[in-house]
Amino acid sequence: MARDLSRDFYHGSATSPFNAMRVAIEKCRKLYKGYYKGGIFSYDEINSYLGFFDDLGFFNEKGALDLETIKQLFGASVIEAYEYNELRRYVNELQKNAKQPSAFRNFQILAKKLEEIPEYKELVEDSRRGCDKS
């Protein structure tokens, strides 16, 4: 299962937004077309990206994927997405304004678990600083 998830995430179909979204986050680009003129991704594409991480959190909670496997394959991407201000705003608005309090909850729980891993301390700090790397 882990190998299939990794292949889907890193080498998905040509229409998969995963690689493009990872790169956009790393380059501090505006993501959501609904927030910004020049945003790159639609509602469905952002939901798909965050939904992938939410599924990982669900699999972890149910014991189908251990945290070490998730860390090895997706850890940095999960943390970077969790700490990206625009995605944090997106999730918050879904949970509060759209009255979907459980939206992406497994993603949030998983990210918090990963952030507790000592070797991710610097990544977490860098990600929290966001796109202002000064």
**Could you state, in order of their start, the residue ranges of all structural domains in the chain?**
2-129
Which whole number is the average pLDDT over 34-57? 95
Residue 16 has pLDDT above 90, yes or no: no
Residue 114 has pLDDT above 60, yes or no: yes
What are the angstrom distances between the C-alpha of 67 and each of 2, 33, 109, 116?
Answer: 11, 33, 12, 11
Residue 15 has pLDDT above 90, yes or no: no
Proportion of the chain above pLDDT 70, given as a percent? 96
Q: What's the pLDDT score for residue 13?
A: 63
Residue 1 near residue 9 (C-beta atoms within 8 A)? no
Q: What's the pLDDT score for residue 14?
A: 57
Residue 100 near residue 129 (C-beta atoms within 8 A)? no
How many residues are there in the chain? 134
Q: Which residue has the higher pLDDT, 105 or 11?
A: 105
Q: What's the pLDDT score for residue 56?
A: 98
E strand residue ranges, the chain: none
Residue 11 has pLDDT above 50, yes or no: yes
pTM of the model: 0.91
Question: Which has the closest alpha carbon to 31: 101, 80, 74, 103?
Answer: 80
**CA angle (130 as vertex; 87, 86 as ends), nearest 5:** 20
